[in-house]
């Protein structure tokens, strides 16, 4: 039997998730939930039933069509209450990133998901870039020691968001209070990927770029220059900014987002003791094939391009993984706790921007037990 799935939220990402559900033979789209006036038309386009709220869906839909799971695609500040409502109704949940807009609310969602009555349910966080073929290949190269011991990473996420990006019905993107700003909307993706590739980040420092948009109405940050230290000893730099014309960002580099023209330009440069790699052009520089005694900056480097199969659509791969997890065939790639780890680093980045000081990143495992005496 196909897994019955409801999409909660019909904004930018909701319909893309819905198309993934429609294209997967193991899933069935049974509902679209969104209070916006455009909701019914979007549901009609997707050929599914429309409901203005989760409660109306649960009270109106017959038992044969009740969803087994839901994908939460609502504004950032609603992720926690919406996910709690779905879990309480007995649905498995895949919630878009970020898990929440604050550490405390994120912890409350993890506690909610850990209740005994929810033990049979799964809470996953939609950091779908873990399933991008360029990231899959990069992790494979790192794990196989192709680059040697990882020393450092240089990273970019820079592009220009036009004024309409912040207009109705998504004015929430202007304010930190509602989960807006380039840190929670965009950098959180890369934080998750960097920790997925190199392990936990333990210390950050950040300098905010000069504001480029009027305040009011904008009070959220639009950029920062950041340094990271990982528990493994790896160090890194990151420039994030959504107010500059630039080809250097994940979406344009990989072509993952169909609304952003592909450039193929790099956004990660990974430096190891045996080789360096740029992503997503996947060019690897090394001294492979050279006399090890002549390994020197005066010797020419060996250059190769690593082949990557780009047939996989990340949102579709994430959905297939979600189905496998619900059916007990796989362990979650990005759990609620992993989603919280990314959020904790983002919080540290923002605190570093405000203070101008080095900020230690709190250990999530310790945080869970200190803030909740019973743990999870």
Spell out the alpha helix ranges (H) of the chain. Answer: 14-23, 39-46, 54-60, 79-88, 103-113, 133-143, 182, 188-198, 250-254, 314-326, 336-355, 364-371
User: How many domains are there within the chain?
Assistant: 2
Q: Which pLDDT tens digit goes with each residue over 57-78?
A: 999 988 888 999 999 999 989 9
DSSP codes joined into one string, 159-226: -B--GGGGSTT-GGGG-GGGT-SHIIIIIHHHHHHHHHHH--EEEEEEEEPPP-S-TTT--S--EEEE
| 19 within some domain | yes
Q: Is residue 287 part of a domain?
A: yes
In a domain, 358, yes or no: no
Please check the confidence at residue 373 and state whether its pLDDT lies above 70. no
What CATH number is associated with residue 113? 3.40.50.720
pLDDT score of 374 = 46
Q: What is the CATH number of the domain that holds 299?
A: 3.30.360.10
Q: What is the pLDDT of residue 375?
A: 44
Q: What is the pTM of this model?
A: 0.91
Residues 6+ apart with CB under 8 A from 241: 157, 158, 182, 209, 222, 223, 224
Q: How confident is the model at residue 371 (pLDDT cuts 50, 70, 90)?
A: low
**DSSP one-letter code for 287:** -
Query: Is residue 351, in this structure, part of any structural domain at all?
Result: no
Mean pLDDT over all residues of the chain?
94
Which residue segment(s) compose the domain that 135 sits in? 130-311
CA pair distance 194, 185, nearest whole angstrom:
16
């Amino acid at each position: 039997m196909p897994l019955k799935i409801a999409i909660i939220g019909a904004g930018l990402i909701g319909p893309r998730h819905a198309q993934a559900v429609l294209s997967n033979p193991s899933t069935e789209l049974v509902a679209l939930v969104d209070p916006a006036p455009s909701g019914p038309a979007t549901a009609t386009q997707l050929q599914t039933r429309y409901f203005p709220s989760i409660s109306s869906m649960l009270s109106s839909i017959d038992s044969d069509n009740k969803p087994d799971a839901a994908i939460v695609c609502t504004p950032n500040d609603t992720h926690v209450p919406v996910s709690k409502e779905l879990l309480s109704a007995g649905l498995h949940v895949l919630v878009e990133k970020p898990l929440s807009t604050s550490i405390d609310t994120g912890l409350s969602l993890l506690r909610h998901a850990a209740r005994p009555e929810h033990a049979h349910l799964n809470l996953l966080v939609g950091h779908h870039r873990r399933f991008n073929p360029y990231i899959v290949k990069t992790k494979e190269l790192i794990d196989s020691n192709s680059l040697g011991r990882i020393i450092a990473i240089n990273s970019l996420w820079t592009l220009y968001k036009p004024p309409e990006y912040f207009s109705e019905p998504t004015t929430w993107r202007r304010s930190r209070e509602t989960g807006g700003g380039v840190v929670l909307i965009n950098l959180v993706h890369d934080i998750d990927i960097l920790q997925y590739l190199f392990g936990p980040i333990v210390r950050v420092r950040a300098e905010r770029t000069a504001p480029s948009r009027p305040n009011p109405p904008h009070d959220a940050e639009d950029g920062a220059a950041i340094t990271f230290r990982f528990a493994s000893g790896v160090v890194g730099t990151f420039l994030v900014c959504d107010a500059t014309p630039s080809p250097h960002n994940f979406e344009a580099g990989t072509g993952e987002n169909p609304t952003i023209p592909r450039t193929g330009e790099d956004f990660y440069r990974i430096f190891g003791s045996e080789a360096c790699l740029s992503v997503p052009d996947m060019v690897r520089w090394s001294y492979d094939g050279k006399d090890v005694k002549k390994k020197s900056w005066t010797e020419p480097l060996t250059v190769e391009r690593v082949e990557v199969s780009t047939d996989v659509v990340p949102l579709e791969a994430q959905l297939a993984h979600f189905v496998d997890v619900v059916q007990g065939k796989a362990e979650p790639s990005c759990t609620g706790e992993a989603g919280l780890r990314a959020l904790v680093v983002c919080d540290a980045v923002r605190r570093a921007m405000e203070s101008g000081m080095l900020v230690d990143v709190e250990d999530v495992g310790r945080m869970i037990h200190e803030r909740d005496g019973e743990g999870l």
